[in-house]
């Protein structure tokens, strides 16, 4: 039974890897990844090459068409599959499945929202872990995405119109990931306050990725001013802004379009008075890598758009995110990544040069263009402290947010790897607080994370009743602060049972029958260890960064792990000895001397076991 259990566990992990690969097989044909990096020197080209080598058809050298559907069909016929089961609970109860965790670690979270009627109800979505719902302010969680639904949640929004608050929407598909991107398939809607979901069928495409503009969704906005019309705007990848006036029965393109000549990164936001702002990246995936519709736009009806991009805006830019000041909606902030040669120069952990920009816009009159709006370039005030880990770093366009405190238009929060707060909207240099991500006080080698908060910021939500209380979504799940204005902001982890971590690999001791040890390499959540069948037991960390491949020696005498590194070589391999509680007692590097340019998730092979 134990052998069958772990065989199926490995099948699940392989299934997740193949799911990510479906994106890569299409993505690789669309985009030249030679020079695309995550911002920390990790090449997507190398990752593409590894996955192609691992999963291609030996006869053709290519990833087979419709492989995702074939995979699902195969898995659905395995013993204990979810095909004939109604819930995760039934699945876990079938064939003696035991959830092992990690109960104490959350995964990459881009979707985060609070019910405006009841702040104890929180919805959070993992980019490969589905939608989760808490009714006790994040103390516990229940997964609400059905087994046969798309789990790659990228954004979520509530309909706040009176009488329609039970309606929620989430978008799917992560178009740009740090280690892999994950394909989506449309928009999902809930009519019972997030307890169950169903797809909006007009947004669902075929089994292959990127057949539709709704395969990768950056953001969703609802028009709250028309009580009887369900007007929705969606910001899509390799496309633009799409609009429906009937809840998704029919859609139309209102800015940009779908195809290789259109923006890879987009965003859309709306004021409480019904004014829209949208951004379209200069970067696309076409041969000229220059979108035919780009820049910053404003609209009074969501249909007709005015280009308000300032004349001094960078010529090169990827993702631009929008932050509207709720207390003065004429003030809007725009944070732009990869503005090569323009804006503020910062450094990442290995010393690579980064260019990013930050602008404030104040609407004055008319359509907002020209003299109708005032632009201020505040790029030079982006954070760049002495500690290099504190430099503003969006890792390409991977982690990028800007939010304005609801009761003060000058209090602005921005996120890259770290989270920062400025009390004057970054109007003056070095006038900010470093409040999340990496630990701002740590000065040793390697790094430490900010207590109970995690690097790589993706989402932020203020509590409706008190904007000093704030939630954050990051690569480490969900965290909460009771005072976002404190000199030293303290965080509370809300990851108890929020099972959204992403495993690259898992390993057990093959030589000891009934051994309880499991180790796993996780996306941005290190290599974790457990030595207990108790699912409520916390897992411990063995390494830092992304935990990649791992293995336990027969008899458990030592562990082999690999991880990404901020330094050369980018991938490092370790031999670890540990005590019964998973505390590392000896740690030795064993990657080849002089190695360089190791591919992401570098595989290693144990020597054969001879019995």
Residues 289, 108: Cα–Cα separation, whole Å: 28
- State the chain's mean pLDDT as an integer: 87
Phi/psi for 287 (5° steps) reads -65, -35
Give the pLDDT confidence score for residue 534 in this predicted structure: 85
Q: What is the number of alpha carbons within 13 Å of residue 440 lying toward its C-beta?
A: 20
Q: Which helix (H) or strand (E) holds 466?
A: strand 466-474
CA 559 to mean position of chain CA atoms: 29
CB atoms within 10 A of CB 366: 11
Tokens found for residue 188: 């999902």
Residues 551-599: tens digit of each pLDDT: 999 998 899 998 887 777 778 899 999 888 888 999 999 988 888 777 7
* Residue 403 phi, psi (nearest 5): -135, 145
pLDDT confidence tier of residue 22, bands split at 50, 70 and 90: very low
Confidence at residue 179, expressed as pLDDT on a 0 to 100 scale: 55
Q: What is the pLDDT of residues 31-86, one digit of tens each?
A: 333 433 444 434 444 556 666 777 788 888 887 777 766 777 787 777 656 555 55
Partner residues linked to 354 by β-bridges: 346
Q: Is the Cβ–Cβ distance between 416 and 406 less than 8 Å?
A: no
Location of structure tokens 């995690």: 454
DSSP letter at 24? H
pTM confidence score:
0.88
Q: Quick check: 497 and 92 in contact, CB under 8 A?
A: no
Are the C-beta atoms of 494 and 518 separated by less than 8 Å?
no
DSSP 527-579: EEEE--S-TTSPPEESSSS-EEEEEE-GGGS-EEEEEE-SSSSSEEEEEEEE-
DSSP assignment of 265-303 equals -EEEEE-TTS-EEEEE-S--SSTT---SS-EEEEESSSS
Q: pLDDT tens across 446-465, in order? A: 789 999 999 999 999 999 99
For the record, the structure tokens of 392 come out as: 């503003």
Task: Report helix, strand or coil for 124.
Answer: strand
């Amino acid at each position: 039974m134990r052998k069958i259990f772990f065989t199926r566990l490995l099948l699940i992990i392989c299934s997740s890897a193949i799911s990510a690969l479906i994106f890569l097989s299409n993505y690789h044909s669309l985009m030249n990844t030679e020079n695309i990096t995550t911002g920390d020197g990790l090449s997507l080209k190398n990752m593409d090459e590894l996955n192609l080598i691992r999963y291609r058809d030996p006869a053709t050298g290519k990833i087979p068409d419709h492989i995702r559907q074939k995979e699902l069909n195969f898995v659905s016929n395995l013993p204990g599959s979810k095909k004939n089961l109604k819930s995760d609970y039934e699945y876990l109860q079938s064939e003696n499945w035991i959830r092992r965790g990690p109960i104490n670690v959350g995964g990459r979270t881009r979707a985060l929202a609070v019910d405006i009627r009841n702040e104890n109800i929180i919805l959070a979505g993992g980019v490969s872990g589905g939608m989760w719902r808490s009714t006790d302010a994040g103390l516990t969680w229940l997964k609400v995405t059905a087994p046969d639904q798309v789990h790659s949640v990228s954004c979520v929004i509530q309909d706040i119109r009176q009488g329609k608050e039970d309606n929620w929407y989430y978008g799917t598909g992560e178009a740009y990931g740090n280690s892999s991107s994950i394909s989506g398939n449309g928009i999902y809607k809930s009519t019972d306050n997030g307890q169950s979901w169903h797809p909006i069928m007009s947004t669902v495409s075929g089994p292959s990725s990127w057949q539709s503009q709704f395969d990768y969704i950056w953001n969703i906005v609802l028009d709250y001013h028309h009580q009887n019309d369900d007007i929705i705007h969606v910001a899509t990848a390799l496309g633009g802004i799409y609009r429906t006036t009937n809840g998704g029965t029919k859609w139309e393109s209102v800015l940009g379009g779908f195809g290789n000549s259109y923006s890879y990164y987009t965003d859309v936001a709306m004021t409480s008075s019904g004014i829209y702002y949208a951004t379209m990246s200069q970067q696309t995936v076409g041969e000229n890598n220059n979108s035919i519709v780009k820049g910053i736009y404003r609209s009074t009806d969501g249909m007709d758009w005015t280009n308000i991009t300032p004349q001094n805006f960078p010529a090169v830019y990827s993702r631009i995110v929008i932050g509207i000041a709720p207390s003065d909606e004429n003030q809007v902030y725009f944070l732009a990544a990869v503005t090569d040669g323009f804006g503020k120069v910062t450094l990442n952990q290995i010393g690579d040069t980064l260019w990013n920009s930050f602008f404030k816009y104040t609407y004055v009159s008319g359509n907002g263009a020209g003299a109708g709006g005032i632009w201020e370039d505040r790029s030079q005030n982006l954070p760049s402290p002495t500690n290099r880990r504190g430099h503003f770093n969006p890792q390409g366009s991977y982690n990028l947010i800007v939010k304005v405190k609801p009761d003060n238009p000058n209090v602005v929060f921005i996120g890259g790897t770290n989270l920062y707060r400025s009390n004057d909207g970054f109007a003056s240099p070095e006038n900010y607080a470093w409040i999340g991500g990496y630990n701002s006080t740590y000065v040793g080698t390697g790094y430490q994370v900010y207590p109970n908060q995690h690097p790589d910021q993706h989402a932020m939500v203020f509590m409706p009743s008190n904007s000093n209380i704030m939630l954050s979504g990051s690569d480490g799940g969900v965290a909460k602060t009771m005072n976002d204005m404190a000199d030293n902001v303290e965080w509370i982890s809300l990851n108890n049972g929020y099972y959204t971590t992403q495993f690259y690999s898992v390993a057990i001791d093959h030589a000891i029958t009934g051994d309880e040890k499991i180790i796993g390499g996780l996306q941005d959540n290190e290599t974790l260890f457990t030595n207990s069948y108790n699912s409520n037991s916390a897992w411990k960390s063995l390494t830092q960064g992304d935990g990649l491949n791992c293995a336990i020696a027969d008899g458990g005498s030592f562990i082999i792990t690999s991880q990404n590194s901020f330094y050369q070589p980018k991938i490092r391999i370790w031999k670890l000895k540990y005590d019964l509680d998973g505390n590392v007692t000896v740690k030795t590097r064993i990657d080849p001397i002089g190695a360089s340019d190791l591919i992401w998730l570098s595989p290693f092979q144990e020597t054969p076991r001879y019995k």
